Chain A
């Protein structure tokens, strides 16, 4: 299979985007266009950045990334959305005047009416108020569990992938066992003994079950990234492990972790609903999208509006974080610079 050698051992080229521009028909054109755009962007960045001069300190990759992020409209839009969600979580009464626990069973599953634009759920509670108040618990669970699982997973997985050997074997096998624990069983065992009504046991449990997946993804991409020529070159030049990991491997391996983590955010919020359904998740007076979505799911034929609003809010949240993740990933990709 001679093809293997061609791409893999391609010598490092100086960034000559224009060199391939004329070759294309159709596809290559697209690639070339993208390339040209990004070149322009880089040029633009450079001209607005700190002026060139002999005194300029070499900027680190991370500050470069931050620099680029601030100019990315996707990043700005997603940050504003997240800011909005955070504000709603802290002060839900800003946009909802009702009480999410005030329910009138006689209005069960009624559609929208003046003052109650989203209608009522099965218990006769106002769907709009509950959707607004549900943000706090759901976003706390989603964000904290994702951060926890992503941190733990990428740290352990990254180390395992980077060093390999016995540590890798041990970690991977531990992860295999964790994969084996059914969510239902784990939830019933770990969460039924907890009497706290806060979100933290739920967050902890989701981190516990979530990290192996991110660890494996992180491990896989670190294994790939450390084969790159520039990493090998850095090693040949005598770079230390920590420097190599932070400078060369991490930025190139982080993209899949970001992708998985941003989607996992949504699934973790949904997982919280599964736990509530089992009787071990959040419980009243806590209000959450997960609880409302799982209550609405079985009523989909009778009252679809019950599902629409909390699920829509969940979509928006996931969208904001997916956009944020995309922007961060773009900013960290040196090939775009």
Chain B
């Protein structure tokens, strides 16, 4: 067990190098960022050349990369174009986004699995159909619209919550954005748990449990749910990435200064230190999340074991 975890942690090293290089190369492929710094005006050639030299942009790609990696090992992730160190950006953006992600995953788990279990146990009934309709609505209406509508209704019309999130972004203010962010994933979690439940209801161990006269509640939570959760857990593991790095729309609607926003800005401005720094941290988050998911497999299904 311990050895398995250590092996997985060691695998992070090649992944770290691979992903930094890949992202570095991709930002490089986006083109020269310097001309855009001058707005509507034409860049002054001498100034632009100086900026390029300072950013090592006049060097070949591999030299730029080595220089960047060398800096990283000294704890320097470079600076954004507005002069802010990337480490500072990360320190302000990641905690906020992590909180938002936790809220979203909390709703995914609680609402998604509950709806999934109910509709899985009552397949073909009206509850199941209503959940299906909700799923369809969530998939086909863009996040922008649901986010904007909920913000308008709760924040402006009824005034129940602040429509935007303050810079500190405490958990309380993140409930509404968290729900909006979770919506599409909710559709997946609900359908996945519904299918698993519906499948496992027929399994022999459930029949046995029922036959033994165990209470329904115990059968559902102990036997049925536990064995149905693996696909759901896998999905949530893969979803962490989408939630953390891809919350651009939600973060914009609620004015959350998180990872999605910084990443988007970095990409639009071709700022490789920002993009590579943020993506590298995200990749590490996925690695940890997926390690956690793999460990959870063994918790949920004791027959699975890792050596």
Residues on the B chain within 8 Å of A301, using CB: 148, 152
Q: Contact between B246 and A312 (Cβ–Cβ < 8 Å)?
A: no
Residues on the A chain within 8 Å of B264, using CB: 182, 184
Residues on the A chain within 8 Å of B149, using CB: 300
Instruction: Give which listed residue, A4, A184, A260, A335, contacts B199 with CB less than 8 A.
Output: A335
Residues on the A chain within 8 Å of B275, using CB: 182, 185
Looking at the complex, which of A114-122, A127-135, A221-229, A242-250 is the stretch in contact with chain B? Answer: A221-229
- A220-B207 CB under 8 A given contacts A179-B241, A307-B141, A314-B140: no
Chain A nearest CB from B142 CB (Å) reads: 5
Q: Is A95 an interface residue (CB 8 A)?
A: no
- A4-B302 CB under 8 A given contacts A216-B234, A216-B237, A297-B145: yes
Q: Contact size class for A?
A: 35 or more
- A180-B145 CB under 8 A given contacts A217-B234, A217-B235, A259-B192: no
Instruction: Give which listed residue, B11, B27, B142, B203, contacts A297 with CB less than 8 A.
Output: B142
Q: Contact between A173 and B302 (Cβ–Cβ < 8 Å)?
A: no
**A206 CA to B137 CA in the complex, in Å?**
22
Q: Is A20 an interface residue (CB 8 A)?
A: yes
Q: Contact between A263 and B139 (Cβ–Cβ < 8 Å)?
A: yes
Residues on the A chain within 8 Å of B145, using CB: 297, 300, 307
Q: Contact between A181 and B196 (Cβ–Cβ < 8 Å)?
A: no
Q: Contact between A176 and B184 (Cβ–Cβ < 8 Å)?
A: no
Residues on the B chain within 8 Å of A267, using CB: 139, 184
Report the interface size for chain B: residues with CB under 8 A from the other chain. Answer: 81
Q: Contact between B137 and A315 (Cβ–Cβ < 8 Å)?
A: yes
- A20-B237 CB under 8 A given contacts A180-B279, A315-B140, A336-B202: no
Q: Contact between A176 and B230 (Cβ–Cβ < 8 Å)?
A: no
Q: Contact between A329 and B136 (Cβ–Cβ < 8 Å)?
A: no
Q: Contact between A312 and B140 (Cβ–Cβ < 8 Å)?
A: yes
Q: Please, which residue of chain B has its CB at the minimum distance from the CB of A37?
A: B124
- A266-B140 CB under 8 A given contacts A177-B19, A188-B267: yes
Q: Contact between B23 and A180 (Cβ–Cβ < 8 Å)?
A: yes
Interface of B is mostly: helix
Q: Contact between B241 and A180 (Cβ–Cβ < 8 Å)?
A: yes
Residues on the A chain within 8 Å of B110, using CB: none
Q: Contact between B11 and A169 (Cβ–Cβ < 8 Å)?
A: yes
Q: From residue 274 to 295 of chain B, which have CB atoms closer than 8 A to chain A?
A: 275, 279-280, 282-283, 286-287, 290, 293
Q: Contact between B14 and A173 (Cβ–Cβ < 8 Å)?
A: yes
Q: Contact between A177 and B22 (Cβ–Cβ < 8 Å)?
A: yes
Looking at the complex, which of A5-13, A62-70, A85-93, A196-204 is the stretch in contact with chain B? Answer: A5-13
Chain A nearest CB from B139 CB (Å) reads: 4
Instruction: Give which listed residue, A3, A213, A300, contacts B148 with CB less than 8 A.
Output: A300
Q: Is A319 an interface residue (CB 8 A)?
A: yes
Pick from A13, A186, A189 the residue with the most CB of B within 10 Å: A189
Q: From residue 218 to 236 of chain B, which have CB atoms closer than 8 A to chain A?
A: 219-220, 222-223, 227, 230-231, 233-235
Instruction: Give which listed residue, A20, A184, A270, contacts B207 with CB less than 8 A.
Output: A20
- A256-B267 CB under 8 A given contacts A3-B222, A24-B210, A263-B139: no
Q: Contact between A181 and B205 (Cβ–Cβ < 8 Å)?
A: no
**A256 CA to B195 CA in the complex, in Å?**
7
Q: Is A281 an interface residue (CB 8 A)?
A: no
Q: Is A273 an interface residue (CB 8 A)?
A: yes
Chain B nearest CB from A3 CB (Å) reads: 6
Q: Please, which residue of chain A has its CB at the minimum distance from the CB of B213?
A: A23
Chain A nearest CB from B145 CB (Å) reads: 5
Chain A nearest CB from B98 CB (Å) reads: 16
Chain A nearest CB from B5 CB (Å) reads: 13
List chain A positions with a Cβ less than 8 A from chain B: 3-4, 6-8, 10, 12-13, 19-20, 23-24, 26-28, 30-31, 34-35, 38, 169, 172-173, 176-177, 179-186, 188-189, 212-213, 216-217, 219-221, 223-224, 227, 255-256, 258-260, 262-263, 266-267, 270, 273, 293-294, 297-298, 300-301, 307, 311-312, 314-315, 318-319, 322, 326, 329, 333, 335-336
The 9 closest A-B pairs by CB, nearest first: A7-B205, A27-B216, A256-B231, A220-B234, A180-B283, A266-B139, A335-B202, A227-B303, A314-B140
List chain B positions with a Cβ less than 8 A from chain A: 11, 14-15, 18-19, 22-23, 26-27, 29-30, 121-123, 132, 135-137, 139-142, 144-145, 148-149, 152, 184, 187-188, 191-192, 195-196, 199, 201-211, 213, 216, 219-220, 222-223, 227, 230-231, 233-235, 237-238, 241, 245-246, 248, 263-264, 267, 275, 279-280, 282-283, 286-287, 290, 293, 297, 301-304
